[in-house]
């Protein structure tokens, strides 16, 4: 059995003396990347010098990027914000942190063609505002919606005193953090704080007099987006993080008024951490269990850049899972060619040698590759679905599919998978789980148990999101008129 680690408890102790909320989030996220790090004392003078230099470099970098790529002036933004009560804050890219909210916005536009929602483009500027919008909306389905980069040279100059004060405070906060901070991380964190202060200054000017009631964030929790959220909250807006994945502890904690998670189990776990005022999942009725068509599906997700198992051992965890499923195929007389393998979307960006190792293991097992033309929604048709710990679990349950979660690496304690009744970590456990989902009566029982444990939330439909936002805003801010 693989170890269950108290990673969140370890990280909480490392940031216990960090007093500022946003600095705590940034340093906790850094600690989450450094698995197994032992707390160690810092030399105060070395920390001072390193953080001071990092801050200077960050300020200079931000100023240069604003001059080079420009932003949106407060006056121009005010015109784009006028008349609307909702804004969406997104990164100018197609990735796991943008696909979910892009899909919600596109579906909303199809339902209400006249709807216009201004888009605030976040992240470090690397291109023009127009190009960042194109990178977010590559399908051109949101053409005509206002694209705004919440930065300008004027707001940068005006925010300089706040930037300096915050980064000086960072010298104290980094000294109080018990983990190691390499210089590159110091610069990255300082840069996000600098950009966040500019965002906040920009918002107070651009949104002055405008009635923005709700701001939806596709990804947040870093200093740049968190300081923007705090400025929005100060102006009366209700901020919501539409979370793109399962709760993973400190890594995705934030300061939003509301964090919407894929499941009720995720929302409950996230509430245990400081930060979010409220957490929830969209309501969803339990579907009937799907019967299955005789095929099996194997979905691997350890092999992606942010996964700690990949960072430590490359594709080995996924390869072990492939071998485990192949062994069980023999036990159940399952034709290997009728086992369909679907890798994590990052399979094409991981190290080429690790990708090749995993693909060779799949080929040797005799599994078939998931056809590009086969919709993900067809997952409900398989008789057996085995997945490594990922959002595939909640996706499958929504479809009526009692997915089996295979843990092939150490897992932290506060994850939804640890109490999931179809979680396995060895051949005996997988044999028992497959036996259950192949028996029609046991399959129905297993699905009901799985649903009760996870409580999957509904898809991120914008109307449903806004309904729950308005309801929770009214309960958390009883004097709000909206």
Q: Token digits for 248?
A: 């993973």
Question: Is residue 256 classed as helix, strand or coil in its secondary structure?
Answer: coil
pLDDT over 90 (residue 436): yes
User: Do 29 and 163 sit in the same domain of this protein?
Assistant: yes
User: Do 323 and 352 sit in the same domain of this protein?
Assistant: yes
CB contact set of 230 (below 8 Å; sequence gap of 6+): 22, 200, 255
Question: 127 in a domain, yes or no?
Answer: yes
pLDDT over 80 (residue 475): no
What CATH code is carried by the domain that includes residue 402?
3.40.50.2000
Residue labelled with tokens 């888009």: 119
User: Do 278 and 300 sit in the same domain of this protein?
Assistant: no
Q: Per-residue confidence at 1, pLDDT binned at 50, 70, 90?
A: very low
User: Do 315 and 225 sit in the same domain of this protein?
Assistant: no
User: Do 153 and 276 sit in the same domain of this protein?
Assistant: yes
Instruction: Tell me how far apart the alpha carbons of residues 372 and 406 are, in angstroms, rounded to a whole number.
Output: 24
How far apart, in Å, do the first and last CA atoms of the chain sit? 51
Count up the domains in the chain and report the number. 2
User: Do 442 and 463 sit in the same domain of this protein?
Assistant: no
φ, ψ of residue 280 to 5 degrees: the values are: -160, 175
User: Do 161 and 213 sit in the same domain of this protein?
Assistant: yes
User: Do 73 and 122 sit in the same domain of this protein?
Assistant: yes
User: Do 350 and 476 sit in the same domain of this protein?
Assistant: no
pLDDT over 90 (residue 478): no
Q: Token digits for 55?
A: 């801050």
User: Do 345 and 315 sit in the same domain of this protein?
Assistant: yes
Residue 446: domain span: 296-454
List, for residues 111-120, the tens digit of each pLDDT value.
Answer: 999 999 999 9
Question: 100 in a domain, yes or no?
Answer: yes
Q: What is the pTM of this model?
A: 0.89
Instruction: Tell me how far apart the alpha carbons of residues 409 and 415 are, in angstroms, rounded to a whole number.
Output: 13
Average pLDDT of the segment spanning 275-282: 94
CB 277 within 8 A of CB 476: yes
Judged by average pLDDT, the poorest of 32-36, 230-234, 447-451, 475-479 is: 475-479
CB 159 within 8 A of CB 83: no
Question: 291 in a domain, yes or no?
Answer: no
pLDDT of residue 102: 97
């Amino acid at each position: 059995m693989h170890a269950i680690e108290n990673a969140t408890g370890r990280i909480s102790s490392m940031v216990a003396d960090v007093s500022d909320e946003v600095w705590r989030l940034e340093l906790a996220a850094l600690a989450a990347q450094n698995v197994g790090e032992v707390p160690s004392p810092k030399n105060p003078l070395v920390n001072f010098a390193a953080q001071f230099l990092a801050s200077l470099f960050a300020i200079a970098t931000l100023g240069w990027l604003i001059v080079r790529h420009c932003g949106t002036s407060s006056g121009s933004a005010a015109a784009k914000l006028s008349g609307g009560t909702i804004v969406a804050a997104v990164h100018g890219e197609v990735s796991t942190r943008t696909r979910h909210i892009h899909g919600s916005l596109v579906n909303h536009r199809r339902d209400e063609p006249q709807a216009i929602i201004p888009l605030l483009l976040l992240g470090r500027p690397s291109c023009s505002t127009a190009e960042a919008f194109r990178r977010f909306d590559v399908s051109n389905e949101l053409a005509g919606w206002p694209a705004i980069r919440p930065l300008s040279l004027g707001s940068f100059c005006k925010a300089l005193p706040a930037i300096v004060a915050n980064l000086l405070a960072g010298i104290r906060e980094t000294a109080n953090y018990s983990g190691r901070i390499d210089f590159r991380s110091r610069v990255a964190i300082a840069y996000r704080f600098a950009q966040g202060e500019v965002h906040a200054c920009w918002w107070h000017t651009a949104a002055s007099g405008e009635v923005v009631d709700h701001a939806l964030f596709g990804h947040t929790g870093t200093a740049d987006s968190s300081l923007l959220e705090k400025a929005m909250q100060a102006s009366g807006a209700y901020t919501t993080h539409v979370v793109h994945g399962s709760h993973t502890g400190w890594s995705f904690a934030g300061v939003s008024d509301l964090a919407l998670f894929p499941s009720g189990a995720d929302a409950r776990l996230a509430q245990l951490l400081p930060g979010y005022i409220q957490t929830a999942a969209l309501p969803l009725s339990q579907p009937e269990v799907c019967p299955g068509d005789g095929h099996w599906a194997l979905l691997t997700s350890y092999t992606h850049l942010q996964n700690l198992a990949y960072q430590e051992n490359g594709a080995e965890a996924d390869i072990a899972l492939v071998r485990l499923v192949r062994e069980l195929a023999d036990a159940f007389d399952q034709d290997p060619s009728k086992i369909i393998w679907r890798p994590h979307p990052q399979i094409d960006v991981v190290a080429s040698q690790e990708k090749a190792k995993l693909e060779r293991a799949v080929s040797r097992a005799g599994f078939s590759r998931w056809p590009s033309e086969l919709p993900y929604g067809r997952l409900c048709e398989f008789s057996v679905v085995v997945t490594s710990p990922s959002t595939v679990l909640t996706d499958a349950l929504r479809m009526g599919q009692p997915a089996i979660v295979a843990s092939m690496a150490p897992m932290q304690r506060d994850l939804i998978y640890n109490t999931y009744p179809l979680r396995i970590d060895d051949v005996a456990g997988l044999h028992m789980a497959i036996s259950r989902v192949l028996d029609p009566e046991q399959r129905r029982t297993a699905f009901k148990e799985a649903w009760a444990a996870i409580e999957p939330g509904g898809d991120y439909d914008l109307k449903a999101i806004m309904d729950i936002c308005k309801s929770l805003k009214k309960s958390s801010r009883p004097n709000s008129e909206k």
